[in-house]
Structure 1
Amino acid sequence: MMIRLAANLSMLFTEHDFLDRFTAAVDAGFRGVEYLFPYAHSPEALRTALDESGVEQVLFNLPPGDWAAGERGLASLPGREAEFRDAVIEGLRYAERLGCPRVHAMAGLLPEGADDRALDDAREAHHATYLANLRFAAGEAAKAGRELLIEPINTRDMPGYFLSRQDQAVAAIEAVGADNLRLQFDLYHCQIMEGDLVRHLERLLPHIGHVQIAGVPERHEPNIGEVHYPAILERLSALGYRGWVGCEYRPAAATRDGLGWARPFGLAS
């Protein structure tokens, strides 16, 4: 199988300080890394970590707004367009320095506590804002030679998230019409919201720019839970996918102790 695994350093190797996780990932056999956000560290510090470990940076998220206050992205938020544009520029600055080919724009949350009519109005306003912001972001990313990704996230883990289903994401991609706007297909989120993972992969492959995995429902190692990942990854490889598969799960114990599932893909356990 032609599957390339990337370690999500926001979740894996948390036994180490963040800048030490790059080398820990390489020592375990990973050749690519992703994480949620780079902005707590300078681009120079991260570039050094990449160079010293020899690992490839494959993905991170654009600035999401005030994460500590509960914000989960800016792309669909009416009235925050200027802040989103600044986030795009900042994210692409990091991507350029780190040689990262793709960035993910989180959509953001719908307003809490709205009645049905107000929520319908909010969805319409968020949708219009989302498309406009994605057009801007995809254009800036194209100038920088980068891909822009969007990811449906399940509403159990992230209640109120604007983008939660695959068809919604594909409709946005097709409406924007930018060649570098792609789908970040997270099998964990899709299983919780929709299931039918293999058929989703087959149908959505032309749009997919990155894949992520985790066990369902606890988000532990991919060999824990209800999803049979060996069959899914075999099908993904057979379909011709040659991108990265991000390991975005929370280890049940120490990271290295749970990597036996990845031995067929060249990782040490």
Structure 2
Amino acid sequence: MPRFAANLSMMFNEYDFLDRFQAAADAGFEAVEYLFPYDHPAETIAACLRKSGLQQALFNMPPGNWAGGDRGLAALPARRAEFEAAVGLAVDYAGIIGTPYLHMMAGIADAGDEIAVRAYREALIFAADRTEQAGIGLVIEPINRRDMPGYFLNDFDQALAFVTGIGRQHVKLQFDIYHRQILHGDVVMGLRAMMPHIGHIQVASVPKRNEPGTGELNDRAIFAEIDALGYSGFIGCEYRPAGRTEEGLGWLTET
């Protein structure tokens, strides 16, 4: 039986952010994820988790100036000092909040640029060292360029090569079903081939990024395959509800 984590950056937007934790728990979720917690003290987030009885599944390292268009810093050599500070902040937050994984965003850069590739690999090693010391898992995620134009890490095979290339047991692939379908298709075969290296899974319907079961994929069959492959982590629900969040949760009770 899959275990699902509500993504509070996209779901339950009818509530203020700190109230979304209890809303997710009331709706039947046992865990949450979100893009960034840094607008609030880590102790406040931890208190919301305790009060609602939820587990933390994942959050992202600081991406730079998100409002200004930054989508991570790892592949940007000129911003290495800022990247290292962001890793430190994320690890500090993770230690207080408690999370099995941090996601390192790559940034907007040319995936074929050798300088960007080298910078990204070096950044991944730096982040791997820091997270390993803190006892936290690290994931990287390929993201399609339709949703995020110019994103450096936009290929699942490339991402897997980075993961296996550094050879750290706690560094894994974040397998987003929505991004996989748009980038490559062949979702089930991708899951089967990459499962030994997958640390976290996310889901949304394709192409509209709404509730599971409302798009072109047979999400129930994919969930069954994930179970059959022995995945025991959370599946993050990184989708945009088509209407009020609670009104679209029928898929959750039917899974």
Q: What is the CA-CA distance between 1:127 and the residue it aligns to?
A: 0.6
Assess if the C-alpha contact under 8 Å between 1:76 and 1:130 holds in 2: yes
Match of 1:202 in 2: 192
Task: Give 1:101's aligned amino acid.
Answer: P
Match of 2:205 in 1: 215
Q: What is the CA-CA distance between 1:79 and the residue it aligns to?
A: 1.3
Match of 1:13 in 2: 12
Assess if the C-alpha contact under 8 Å between 1:135 and 1:176 holds in 2: yes
Match of 2:38 in 1: 39
Match of 1:83 in 2: 82
Output the CA distance in 1 between the equivalents of 2:143 and 2:26: 31
Deviation by residue 1:223-269 (Cα, 9 ceiling, x = unmatched):
1110110000001100101011000000000000000011134xxxx
Assess if the C-alpha contact under 8 Å between 1:131 and 1:175 holds in 2: no
Output the CA distance in 2 between the equivalents of 1:264 and 1:183: 28
Tell me whether 1:107 sits opposite 2:106 in the alignment. Answer: yes
Tell me whether 1:56 sits opposite 2:55 in the alignment. Answer: yes
Task: Give SS of 1:6's match.
Answer: strand
Q: What is the CA-CA distance between 1:85 and the residue it aligns to?
A: 0.8
Task: Give SS of 1:164's match.
Answer: coil
* Structure 2 stretches lacking a partner, 5+ long: none
What's the % identity of the aligned pairs?
Answer: 53
Deviation by residue 1:104-141 (Cα, 9 ceiling, x = unmatched):
00000016xxxxxxx84xx2111100110100101110
Instruction: State the TM-score, normalized to the length of structure 1.
Output: 0.93
How many residues of Structure 1 are paired with residues of Structure 2 in the alignment?
A: 255
Q: What is the CA-CA distance between 1:44 and the residue it aligns to?
A: 1.4
Match of 2:167 in 1: 177
Match of 1:150 in 2: 140
Instruction: State the TM-score, normalized to the length of structure 2.
Output: 0.98
Task: Give SS of 1:210's match.
Answer: strand
Output the CA distance in 1 between the equivalents of 2:128 and 2:254: 36
Task: Give SS of 2:175's match.
Answer: strand
Task: Give SS of 1:252's match.
Answer: coil
Match of 2:214 in 1: 224
Match of 2:124 in 1: 134
* Structure 1 stretches lacking a partner, 5+ long: 112-118
Assess if the C-alpha contact under 8 Å between 1:135 and 1:178 holds in 2: no
Task: Give SS of 1:157's match.
Answer: coil
CA RMSD of aligned residues (A): 1.0
Assess if the C-alpha contact under 8 Å between 1:6 and 1:34 holds in 2: yes
